[in-house]
């Protein structure tokens, strides 16, 4: 049976059609009106607007409209459901709390949010000072904005809970800054072509001293500029530097290949012709030298002063032999001074878990392509099995890779912490880990640049070759995470840090701290103070402390004070800890001509059981040109000829000495 609505609609249609037919009077020559319609069309429009429709009762109207109302309501509900479910799947970007949920970390560890936007934005590096304040380098201009938009934020904990709650701009007006280190009463900042010093002298939280320390570095692609100022065990400041990267597309912005690296305020000082090598310097004495290797972004020392570097595809390298040895023999052709450590090769496979990953490069997906910020964990708070663990950031794949280190003669070998899975990875494609920092609490701090695009347009698809706004999406965001053991009680937050006000005695005692932050900071402060009373305390620490690391830092702090005695070095050469003996050999080098007793002690070490001690001995004896020294060198080389680094150490002594090794008589 057909419904009432069917007949009512049929009646309306029939009556309307009849009215149209009776009144139809077509126009033969339609005239265009002001809106582009003809007179004929206007006629029909008028007919429609003047038409009378049958009147319906209230009940008939209700019955007619109800089905349509239900249809409209259902359609609206469907749209709402699609919107809500779409929001559930949407993103990134995620707010900090939601972003934290996307991070998957190795069992036994916990990652927590430490500071986020708006307190910081576009962070790339950080540094705790001796009062627990944090300096954060912000680089919103990456990748192509060469305006001075870079900043240094000063973060402070004002309520004593260990978390920053106040953020101020300490310094600004920087072009693409890359690194920061506490120095004297201020900070050193790398921002090619310069290294800057900033200091706040009036206590308002903003630097009023702005001084250029070094200049002349290349200002090329920002992925390859000078970065990472780092205080070394030997009291030098080390800079990660890879040399210029020649631009093809953005020559105007990044075409400065350097003008000679030098002290900005020191005429007649050393000038380094730009090379693809790392740099170290001492601001107080205006010393400036090249290293034998290079590093792209980030570098690190182990507890014994061995130096390690990284490149975007090679995540672990050891600078085995120092430049001062290679420079003794300018005729020696050296391909590299660095050993690749990974047993899983260069451009190693990585294991991301990213949802809908975004890659702008056409190659290198699924392998290291953005490795940076190599960090060997020396914080003393992780479980014992993580004592020789390194971390490397891989921002292009949204993960953190980890390796376990093992001794391998003069160098090391690194193996994956776990096959097929990374230490930390995120499903969030905006997660961009770019740096690490071992804090005073022993936590590992992770700096997250948090952006959708991390690759530089110099090497990406053509649509990004222009300085579009898309390149800077997310520049107002950024996070710092805190990685700690998942233990009870939890690792305490960094509170009540006032090392700058500590006495000399308290600083000396901190040289035995298991956390590298305390040892390094205490040593830097003691050397900076140049306090006469600290020498006796340091000698006592060396002779009485059961800690090999305390004895090691005591030696180098005394060296920084100019108070290291040859007799103390003789004791160190006879010590039980290989790392202390190795460093004592290095410390003996400036005293070889003035202390025959030290030379005699070195000559007795030819049978040392430790391969790194033997390697250092062979390097150092290259400065001693006596028959006795040559005999020890020859024996060291003969007994360990299979070690290529022992070969290089022997050949580095001098051109004359090296040539003798090729005058070999073979006895059949």
410-433 pLDDT per residue, tens: 999 999 999 999 999 999 999 999
With a cut of 90, say whether residue 249 has pLDDT above it. Answer: no
Predicted pLDDT at 11: 45
Contacts of 17 (CB under 8 A, 6+ apart): none
CB 138 within 8 A of CB 448: no
Q: What mean pLDDT is reported for the chain?
A: 88
Query: Tokens standing for 450?
Result: 């948090």
Distances (CA, A) of 304 to 239, 437, 552, 579, 592: 18, 18, 8, 6, 22
At 387 the pLDDT is 87
**How does pLDDT run across 20-38, given as a tens digit for each residue?**
344 444 333 333 333 333 4
Q: Answer whether residue 401 shows pLDDT above 60.
A: yes
Residue 530: pLDDT band by 50, 70, 90 thresholds? very high
What is the Cα–Cα distance from 431 to 102, expressed in whole angstroms? 9
What pLDDT was estimated at residue 395? Answer: 96
pLDDT higher at 169 or 37: 169
Whether 481 contacts 124, CB under 8 Å: no
Indicate the helix (H) or strand (E) that contains 628.
Answer: helix 627-639
Summarize the confidence of residues 601-628 as an average pLDDT: 97
Q: Is the pLDDT of residue 55 over 70?
A: no
Residue 71: its pLDDT value, please? Answer: 56
Is 655's pLDDT higher than 80? yes
Q: Measuring CA to CA, how many Å separate 439 from each of 138, 215, 237, 356, 443?
A: 19, 30, 19, 33, 6
- Over residues 67-79, the mean pLDDT reads 57
Tens digits of per-residue pLDDT, 342-354?
Answer: 999 889 999 999 9
For residue 224, pLDDT over 60 is answered with yes
Computed on alpha carbons and rounded to an integer, the radius of gyration of the chain in Å comes to 35
> What distances in angstroms separate CA 577 from CA 448, 523, 547, one per listed residue?
38, 20, 10
Strand order in the sheet with 150-156: 123-128, 134-138, 150-156, 166-174
Lowest model confidence (mean pLDDT) among 10-19, 296-305, 346-355:
10-19
Distances (CA, A) of 111 to 121, 421, 484: 20, 17, 6
Q: Is the pLDDT of residue 474 over 90?
A: yes
Whether residue 405 is predicted with pLDDT greater than 60 in this model: the reply is yes
pLDDT at 2 over 60: no
HEC readout, 93-139? CCCHHHHHHCEEECCCEEEEEEEECCCCCCEEEEEECCCCCEEEEEC
At residue 321, φ and ψ (nearest 5 deg) are: -115, 130
Is the distance from CB of 179 to CB of 190 less than 8 angstroms? yes
Tokens of 163: 């978390």
Contacts of 154 (CB under 8 A, 6+ apart): 133, 134, 135, 167, 168, 169, 170, 205
Of the candidates 188, 304, 229, 309, the residue with the CA atom closest to the CA atom of residue 556: 304
Task: Give pLDDT tens digits for 323-344.
Answer: 999 999 999 999 999 999 999 9
pLDDT at 465 over 90: no
Whether the model clears a pTM of 0.95, i.e. scores above it, the answer is: no
């Amino acid at each position: 049976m057909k419904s009432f609505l069917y007949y009512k609609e049929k009646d309306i249609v029939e009556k309307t059609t009849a009215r149209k037919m009776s009144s139809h009077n077509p126009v033969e020559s339609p005239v265009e009106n002001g809106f582009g319609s003809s007179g004929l069309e206007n006629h029909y429009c008028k007919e429609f607007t003047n038409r009378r429709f049958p009147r319906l009762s209230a009940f008939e109207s209700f019955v007619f409209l109800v089905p349509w109302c239900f249809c409209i309501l259902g359609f609206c509900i469907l749209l709402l459901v699609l919107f809500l479910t779409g929001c559930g799947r949407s993103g990134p970007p995620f707010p900090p709390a939601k972003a934290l949920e996307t991070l998957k970390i190795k069992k036994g560890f916990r990652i927590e949010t430490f500071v986020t936007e708006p307190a910081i934005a576009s962070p790339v590096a950080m540094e705790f000072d001796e009062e627990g304040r944090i300096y954060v380098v912000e680089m919103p201009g990456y990748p192509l904005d060469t305006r001075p938009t870079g900043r240094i934020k000063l973060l402070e904990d004002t309520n004593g809970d260990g978390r920053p709650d106040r953020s101020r701009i300490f310094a600004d007006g920087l072009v693409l800054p890359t690194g920061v280190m506490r120095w004297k009463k201020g900070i050193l900042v790398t921002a090619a072509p310069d290294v800057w010093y900033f200091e706040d002298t009036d206590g308002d939280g903003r630097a009023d001293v702005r001084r250029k320390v070094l200049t002349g570095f290349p200002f090329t692609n920002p992925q390859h500029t000078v970065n990472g100022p780092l205080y070394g065990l030997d009291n030098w400041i080390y800079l990660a530097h890879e040399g210029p990267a020649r631009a093809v597309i953005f020559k105007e912005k990044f075409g400065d290949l350097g003008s000679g690296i030098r002290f900005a305020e020191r005429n007649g000082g050393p000038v380094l012709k730009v090379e693809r090598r790392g740099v170290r310097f001492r601001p107080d004495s205006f010393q400036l030298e090249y290293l034998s290797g290079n590093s792209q972004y980030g570098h690190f020392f182990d507890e014994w002063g061995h130096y390690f570097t990284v490149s975007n595809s090679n995540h672990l390298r050891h600078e085995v032999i120092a430049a001062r040895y290679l420079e003794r023999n300018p005729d020696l052709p050296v391909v590299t001074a660095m050993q690749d450590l990974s047993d899983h090769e260069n451009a190693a496979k990585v294991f991301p878990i990213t949802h809908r990953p975004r890659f702008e490069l056409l190659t290198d997906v699924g392998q290291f392509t953005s490795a940076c910020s190599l960090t060997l964990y020396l914080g003393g708070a992780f479980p014992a099995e993580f004592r020789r663990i390194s971390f490397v950031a891989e921002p292009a794949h949204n993960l953190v890779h980890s390796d376990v280190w093992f001794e391998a003669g003069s160098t090391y070998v690194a193996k994956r912490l776990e096959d097929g899975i990374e230490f930390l990875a995120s499903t969030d494609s905006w997660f961009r880990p770019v740096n690490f920092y071992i804090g005073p609490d022993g936590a590992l701090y992770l700096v997250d640049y948090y952006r959708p695009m991390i690759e530089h347009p110099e090497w990406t698809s053509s649509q990004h070759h222009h300085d579009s706004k898309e390149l800077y999406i997310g520049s107002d965001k950024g996070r710092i995470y805190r990685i700690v053991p998942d233990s009870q009680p939890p690792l305490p937050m960094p509170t009540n840090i006032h090392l700058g006000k500590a006495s000399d005695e308290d600083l000396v005692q901190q040289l035995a701290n298991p956390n590298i932050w305390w040892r390094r900071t205490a040593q830097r402060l003691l050397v900076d103070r140049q306090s006469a009373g600290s020498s006796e305390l340091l000698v006592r620490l060396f002779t009485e402390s059961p800690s090999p690391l305390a004895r090691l830092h005591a030696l180098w702090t005394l060296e920084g004070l100019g108070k290291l005695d040859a007799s103390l070095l003789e004791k160190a050469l006879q010590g039980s800890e290989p790392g202390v003996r190795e460093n004592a050999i290095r410390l003996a080098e400036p005293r070889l001509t003035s202390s025959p007793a030290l030379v005699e002690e070195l000559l007795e070490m030819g049978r040392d059981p430790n391969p790194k001690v033997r390697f250092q001995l062979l390097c150092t004896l290259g400065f001693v040109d006596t028959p006795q020294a040559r005999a020890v060198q020859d024996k060291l080389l003969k007994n360990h000829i299979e070690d290529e680094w022992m070969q290089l150490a022997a050949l580095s002594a001098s051109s004359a000495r090296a040539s003798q090794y090729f005058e070999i008589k073979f006895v059949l």
